[in-house]
């Protein structure tokens, strides 16, 4: 019977695997609905979604995007949504041996029984895990081999902004905010089911594609030039009339109207974030040129201070969490962040509730916020992200932070009692030289020198953390050559030596970095085209799983498979990664409309090379990146001028007057 629980078959396996609790579900605020929950609705049909964050449970369960969609969908009376996560290799082996299919953790239903299978990819390194889930679910890996009995496989998340590398495996992709998009897809699916599923799977895909907001790769043809570059990507309107040339990003306006998650999930097993998160705004217009998240989530839309207060209050009551994270791409940029943090700190001053602001802005204002949030707590570490080591490279990436800004900021931090400062940088940025990276060592030494001076102590520390830069689609650096793995490693080695060899400060500076190899695979997947799908499949067939995990990742496997699978096309990994692109080149994601004007992006790339900076359009006139007119959106920022009032009013006494600091971010 469809929708029947496979738990009886799963249960005997649980005692044989690591962390069995991750497979049992039953978390606080999880939802289990009747399989035919929609039967009594006017249309008399049920739309069933399986949602996956394609990583281990501990990483997937706190994911905000998946949690929001799970709740939004389950609020509909005709819809049920359940969650599934990647099973560890020990469980996978047993499931294959005992023929247990990929299952949801909510009601342990087989993945293959659902109508729609939505995957949220925040990184490309989850692609092989998608193939495992499809295969364990009895769903053909290739979309063209599926029929009416299989779910429609839909990719979302930031990686879906270039869905071409997984075009063979997905039926559809949706870009942008998911809340309204999943409801629209549910409506279309419900109507098609109510009509008796006319035209089968193809008709449903056509209806989705014709909305202009769902990309169905099979309706688009790609042709190539003799040198391997793409000649054209075009909809096949002869066979599939009405399929649009471009597929638009979804943007939710008015975040206060979407206060999700209202009932955040509380995992039973250990997870990467043991806290409740409230998204205080979406989007970022600071214009950091390396940052795909900032570019593809424009424009900025703030949640109001009162909306934030209500979400925190309701979420804490629903979960019992003792820590609240105020999330966004750059939380200190909220127009009323000072009032938000002070208001929340006042509200929860006498409780166990801790507040955190994972902001990495480099300025003294950030220290004020951090001080406010840790009024009663221990001052351990603060993180800042100058991203580039030299003033020159920070101009290239449009990270407008001077060395003096950084030194003043860390001086304020050490002076306020913080003992540890973490600095985040990238290596391999466009136009970067060894000298730019070696400046990181000089900066770190100045940080320690300043810290010792202002604190009068010798035990202060600074940790330098370095990530490899990977050029991404829909950013000004989408045309840039990526630095090779060996060159990255050589540059980082020089930096490590420069830090370690310093007798005065070296022992106070921690150095953390990853080698350049995973970045090359990520680069291949993030700027690849449909031909790269063969590589992903070959890697998976060779045993590739959990590529985001160092202990499972095999660079050699990726390189061997890529060499073999790409050779027939006369191209290789370097062609996709370390090769610069011309303005005229058709990029694999050109038909995915993020709203950003390609000419504006190219100009921004030229400005990067010329070290010309661009302001944040939140505070300055619009500089025509294209997003707002193209998508009919606008910047939504405060201040609202409102304040957070105390939660409990005793005996009708007047509300306490509070002096709120409306310092502008
Ligand atoms: S269109 Fe103008 S206001 Fe809108 S995000 Fe782009 S630069 Fe900012």
SS3 content of the chain, % helix, strand, coil (to 5): 40, 15, 45
Look-up: residue for tokens 């707590």?
377
Per-residue confidence (pLDDT) for residue 376, from 0 to 100 = 62
User: Are 292 and 164 found together in one domain?
Assistant: no
User: Are 28 and 81 found together in one domain?
Assistant: yes
Identify the helix (H) or strand (E) that includes residue 466. Answer: strand 461-468
User: Are 233 and 299 found together in one domain?
Assistant: no
Per-residue confidence (pLDDT) for residue 257, from 0 to 100 = 97
How far separated are the first and last CA of the chain, in Å rounded? 57
Whether 422 is covered by a domain: the verdict is no
Whether 504 is covered by a domain: the verdict is no
- Please report the atom of ligand 1 found closest to the CA of residue 626: 1
User: Are 208 and 311 found together in one domain?
Assistant: no
Residue 67 Cα to ligand 1 middle (Å) = 29
> Does 628 sit in the ligand 1 pocket, CB within 6 Å?
yes
User: Are 324 and 175 found together in one domain?
Assistant: no
> Does 600 sit in the ligand 1 pocket, CB within 6 Å?
no
> Does 627 sit in the ligand 1 pocket, CB within 6 Å?
yes
Per-residue confidence (pLDDT) for residue 264, from 0 to 100 = 95
User: Are 336 and 287 found together in one domain?
Assistant: yes
Per-residue confidence (pLDDT) for residue 400, from 0 to 100 = 86
User: Residue 331's closest CA among 257, 383, 388?
Assistant: 383
Residue 334, number of CB atoms within 10 A of its CB:
27
Q: Which two tokens stand for residue 301?
A: 């839309």
> Of the residues 244, 259, 292, which one is the last residue of a structural domain?
244
pLDDT less than 50: residues of the chain? 649-665
Q: How many residues does the chain have?
A: 665
> Does 623 sit in the ligand 1 pocket, CB within 6 Å?
yes
Detail the DSSP E strand segments found in 230-353: 230-235, 247-248, 276-279, 281-282, 301-302, 323-327
User: Are 321 and 199 found together in one domain?
Assistant: no
> Are residues 154 and 185 in contact, defined by beta-carbon separation less than 8 angstroms?
yes
Per-residue confidence (pLDDT) for residue 481, from 0 to 100 = 98
Question: Residue 457: what are its φ and ψ, rounded to 5°?
Answer: -125, 155
Residue nearest to atom 5 of ligand 1 (CA): 299
Whether 234 is covered by a domain: the verdict is yes
User: Are 232 and 321 found together in one domain?
Assistant: no
Whether 514 is covered by a domain: the verdict is no
> Does 631 sit in the ligand 1 pocket, CB within 6 Å?
no
Q: Which phi-psi region, left, alpha or beta, contains residue 110 (left: φ > 0; alpha: ψ -120 to 50)?
A: beta
Residue nearest to atom 4 of ligand 1 (CA): 628
> Are residues 521 and 488 in contact, defined by beta-carbon separation less than 8 angstroms?
no
Residue 357 Cα to ligand 1 middle (Å) = 26
Whether 95 is covered by a domain: the verdict is yes
User: Are 202 and 302 found together in one domain?
Assistant: no
* Structural domain total, the chain: 2
> Does 399 sit in the ligand 1 pocket, CB within 6 Å?
no
Containing structural domain, residue 655: 275-377+595-665
Whether 447 is covered by a domain: the verdict is no
Whether 142 is covered by a domain: the verdict is yes
- Please report the atom of ligand 1 found closest to the CA of residue 634: 4
| pTM of model > 0.85 | yes
Residue 285 Cα to ligand 1 middle (Å) = 8
User: Are 53 and 141 found together in one domain?
Assistant: yes
| CA–CA gap between residue 411 and residue 390 (Å, rounded) | 19
CATH number of 164's domain = 3.40.50.280
User: Are 60 and 174 found together in one domain?
Assistant: yes
How does DSSP classify residue 432? -
Residue 363 Cα to ligand 1 middle (Å) = 24
User: Are 363 and 297 found together in one domain?
Assistant: yes
> Of the residues 202, 224, 244, which one is the last residue of a structural domain?
244
Whether 216 is covered by a domain: the verdict is yes
CATH number of 603's domain = 3.30.750.210
- Please report the atom of ligand 1 found closest to the CA of residue 633: 4
What 3-state class would DSSP assign to 50?
Answer: strand
Look-up: residue for tokens 């166990």?
352
Which residues, other chains included, contact 656 with Cβ-Cβ below 8 Å and sequence gap of 6+? 646
> Does 645 sit in the ligand 1 pocket, CB within 6 Å?
no
What 3-state class would DSSP assign to 387?
Answer: strand
Per-residue confidence (pLDDT) for residue 364, from 0 to 100 = 66
């Amino acid at each position: 019977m469809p929708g029947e629980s496979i738990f009886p078959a799963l249960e005997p396996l649980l005692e044989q695997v690591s962390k069995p609790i991750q497979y049992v579900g039953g978390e606080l605020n999880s939802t289990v609905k009747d399989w035919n929950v929609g039967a009594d609705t006017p249309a008399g049909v049920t739309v069933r979604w399986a949602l996956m964050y394609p990583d281990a449970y501990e990483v997937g369960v706190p994911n905000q995007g998946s949690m929001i969609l799970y709740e939004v969908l389950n609020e509909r009376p005709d819809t049920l949504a359940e969650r599934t996560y990647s099973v560890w290799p020990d469980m996978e082996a047993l499931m294959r041996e005992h023929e247990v299919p990929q299952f949801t953790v909510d009601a342990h239903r087989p993945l293959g029984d659902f109508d729609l299978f939505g995957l949220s990819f925040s990184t490309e390194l989850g692609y092989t895990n998608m193939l495992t889930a499809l295969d364990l679910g009895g769903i053909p890996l290739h979309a063209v081999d599926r029929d009416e009995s299989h779910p429609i496989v839909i990719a979302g998340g930031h990686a879906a902004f270039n869905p071409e590398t997984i075009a063979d495996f997905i039926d559809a992709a949706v870009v942008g905010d998911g809340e309204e998009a999943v409801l629209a897809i549910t409506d279309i699916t419900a109507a098609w089911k109510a009509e008796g599923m006319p035209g089968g799977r193809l008709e449903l895909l056509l209806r989705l594609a014709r909305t202009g907001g769902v990309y169905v790769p099979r309706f688009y043809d790609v042709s190539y030039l003799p040198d391997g570059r793409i000649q054209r990507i075009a909809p096949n309107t002869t066979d599939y009339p009405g399929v649009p040339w471009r597929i638009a990003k979804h943007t939710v306006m008015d975040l206060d109207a979407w206060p999700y998650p209202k009932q955040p999930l509380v995992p039973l097993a250990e997870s990467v974030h043991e806290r409740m998160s409230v998204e205080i705004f979406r989007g970022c217009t600071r214009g950091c040129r390396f940052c795909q998240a900032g570019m593809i989530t424009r424009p900025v839309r703030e949640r109001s201070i009162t909306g934030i207060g209500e979400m925190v209050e309701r979420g804490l009551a629903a979960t019992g969490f003792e820590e609240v994270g105020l999330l966004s791409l750059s939380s200190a940029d909220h127009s009323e962040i000072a009032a938000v943090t002070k208001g929340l700190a006042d509200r929860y001053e006498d409780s166990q509730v801790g507040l955190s602001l994972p902001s990495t802005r480099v300025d003294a204002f950030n220290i004020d916020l951090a001080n406010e949030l840790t009024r009663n707590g221990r001052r351990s570490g603060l993180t800042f992200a100058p991203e580039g080591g030299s003033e020159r490279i920070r101009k290239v990436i449009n990270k407008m932070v001077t060395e003096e800004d950084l030194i003043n900021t860390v001086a304020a931090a050490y002076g306020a009692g913080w003992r540890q400062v973490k600095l985040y940088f990238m290596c391999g940025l466009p136009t970067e030289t060894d000298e730019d990276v070696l400046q990181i060592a000089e900066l770190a030494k100045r940080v320690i020198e300043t810290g010792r001076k202002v604190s009068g102590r010798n035990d202060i520390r600074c940790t330098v953390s370095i990530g490899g830069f990977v050029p991404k689609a829909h950013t000004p650096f989408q045309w840039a050559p990526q630095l090779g793995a060996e060159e990255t490693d050589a540059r980082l080695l020089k930096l490590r030596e420069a830090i370690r060899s310093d007798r005065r400060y070296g022992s106070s500076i921690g150095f953390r970095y990853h080698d350049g190899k995973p970045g090359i695979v990520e680069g291949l997947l993030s700027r690849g085209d449909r031909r790269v799908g063969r590589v992903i499949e070959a890697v998976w067939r060779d045993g590739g799983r959990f590529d985001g995990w160092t202990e499972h990742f095999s660079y050699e496997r990726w390189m061997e498979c890529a060499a073999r699978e790409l050779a027939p096309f006369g191209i290789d990994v370097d062609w996709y990664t370390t090769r610069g692109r011309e303005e005229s080149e058709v990029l694999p994601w050109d038909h995915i409309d993020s709203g950003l004007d390609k000419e504006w992006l190219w100009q921004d790339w030229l400005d990067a090379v010329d070290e010309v900076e661009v302001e944040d359009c939140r505070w300055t006139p619009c500089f025509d990146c294209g997003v707002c007119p193209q998508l009919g959106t606008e910047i939504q920022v405060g201040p609202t001028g409102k304040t957070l009032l105390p939660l409990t009013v005793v005996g009708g006494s007047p509300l306490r007057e509070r002096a709120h600091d409306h310092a502008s971010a």
